[in-house]
């Protein structure tokens, strides 16, 4: 169902890889709601994914960009404004990567060069994106910037590894830069803390199926899907959320406020009785 919530709005969507990714679903929903956008991803990710298919489907152009490179981001922002015919109204930052996770390095045995690379890609890139937008005065007033996060920024999920630190840093950048974006540009900045979602990126985390099943049984509404996140992001890009900024918003079926659920408690008691 379309409500034309983003009619006439223009933006940039980072991180669409394949049909499982939240950025991909968001691009589809933004298109359905009347928004136009430029798609961007790192050249290496573009070779792995099917972004051309999404561009065709949504009538969008693609600009390859490494989000850790200021030079690439300058080019992305200036070219996007040319393609879209002026300033932009929304940006989705859907980027995260940990080499330590990918290579099976435990949190207690980090390769710090890899840690730094992950921080640069997953969090520092968000600062670089906003700094570039800020310096170019590229956003319309009441524009909206959203980055995707996860609850490991607040709580311990041992196998989420250094990505937990990256998400904590990402959320801090959203607040800190969000202040200046709000004060100087009337632009809002938020993060969405999404349920664990079976995306290509997420599945690299050890025990990920367990994460998903546990969160689903803990949450009164069950896990939020990639499409749920896309819909929430659309609402954050729309004029209906004009004064929401500096927030980390949970889209997780209620997980973040749960201590324990009946199902988890019953399973635990059952296991204890079997011992």
- Token pair listed for 222: 């069950």
User: Is residue 252 a part of any domain in this protein?
Assistant: yes
User: Is residue 3 a part of any domain in this protein?
Assistant: no
How confident is the model at residue 261, as a pLDDT?
Answer: 96
Distance CA 101, CA 117 (A): 12
Distance CA 12, CA 93 (A): 9
Q: For each of the chain's 275 residues, which pLDDT tens digit applies?
A: 899 999 999 999 999 999 999 999 999 999 999 999 999 999 988 887 799 999 999 999 999 999 999 999 999 999 999 999 999 999 999 999 999 999 999 999 999 999 999 999 999 999 999 999 999 999 999 999 999 999 999 999 999 999 999 999 999 999 999 999 999 999 999 999 999 999 877 776 778 888 899 999 999 999 999 999 999 999 999 999 999 999 999 999 999 999 999 999 999 998 888 87
How confident is the model at residue 274, as a pLDDT?
Answer: 84
CATH for 133: 3.40.50.720
Residues serving a catalytic function are: 150, 160
pLDDT in tens, 37-96: 999 999 988 887 799 999 999 999 999 999 999 999 999 999 999 999 999 999 999 999
Buried b (16+ CB within 10 A) or exposed e, 89-111: bbbbbbbbbbbbbeeebebeebe
- Which residues are documented as binding site for NAD(+)? 15, 21-22, 95, 167
Domain residues for the domain of 221 are 10-274
Number of domains in the chain: 1
Distance CA 249, CA 146 (A): 10
User: Is residue 189 a part of any domain in this protein?
Assistant: yes
- Token pair listed for 40: 């961007």
H helix and E strand count, the chain: 11, 7
Distance CA 269, CA 39 (A): 49
How confident is the model at residue 104, as a pLDDT?
Answer: 95
Distance CA 117, CA 76 (A): 21
CB-based contacts of 109: which residues, under 8 Å, 6+ apart?
none
- Which residues are documented as binding site? 15, 21-22, 95, 167
pTM higher than 0.85, yes or no?
Answer: yes
The angle, 0 to 180 degrees and rounded to 10, between the axes of the packed helices 70-84 and 125-135 is: 50
User: Is residue 2 a part of any domain in this protein?
Assistant: no
User: Is residue 4 a part of any domain in this protein?
Assistant: no
Distance CA 125, CA 247 (A): 19
For residue 240, the 8-state DSSP code is G
User: Is residue 35 a part of any domain in this protein?
Assistant: yes
SS3 174: helix
User: Is residue 129 a part of any domain in this protein?
Assistant: yes
Q: What is the CA radius of gyration of the chain?
A: 19
Distance CA 244, CA 247 (A): 7
User: Is residue 1 a part of any domain in this protein?
Assistant: no
- Token pair listed for 1: 């169902």
How confident is the model at residue 137, as a pLDDT?
Answer: 98
The owner of tokens 């990639």 is 226
Q: What are phi and psi of 60, to 5 degrees?
A: -110, 155
């Amino acid at each position: 169902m379309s409500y034309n919530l983003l009619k006439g709005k223009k933006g940039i969507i980072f991180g669409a890889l394949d049909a499982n990714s939240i950025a991909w679903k968001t691009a589809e929903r933004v298109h359905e709601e009347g928004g136009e956008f430029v798609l961007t991803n790192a050249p290496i990710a573009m070779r792995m994914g099917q972004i051309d298919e999404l561009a065709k489907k949504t009538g969008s152009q693609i600009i390859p960009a490494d989000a850790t490179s200021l030079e690439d981001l300058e080019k992305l922002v200036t070219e996007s404004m040319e393609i879209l015919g002026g300033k932009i109204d929304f940006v989705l930052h859907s980027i995260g990567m940990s080499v330590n996770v990918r290579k099976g390095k435990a949190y207690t045995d980090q390769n710090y060069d890899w840690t730094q690379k992950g921080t640069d890609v997953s969090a520092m890139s968000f600062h670089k994106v906003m700094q570039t937008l800020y310096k170019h005065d590229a956003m319309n007033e009441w524009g909206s910037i959203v980055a995707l996060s996860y609850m490991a920024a607040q709580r311990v999920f041992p196998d989420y590894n250094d990505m937990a630190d990256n998400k904590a840093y990402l959320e801090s950048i959203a607040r800190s830069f969000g202040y200046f974006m709000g004060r100087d540009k009337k632009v809002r900045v938020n993060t969405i803390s999404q349920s664990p979602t079976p995306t290509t990126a997420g599945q690299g985390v050890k025990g990920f199926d367990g994460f998903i099943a546990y969160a689903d049984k803990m949450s009164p509404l069950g896990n939020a899907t990639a499409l749920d996140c896309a819909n929430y992001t659309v609402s954050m890009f729309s004029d209906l959320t004009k004064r929401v900024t500096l927030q980390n918003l949970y889209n997780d079926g209620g997980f973040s406020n749960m201590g324990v659920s009946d199902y988890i408690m019953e399973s635990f008691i059952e296991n204890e009785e079997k011992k």
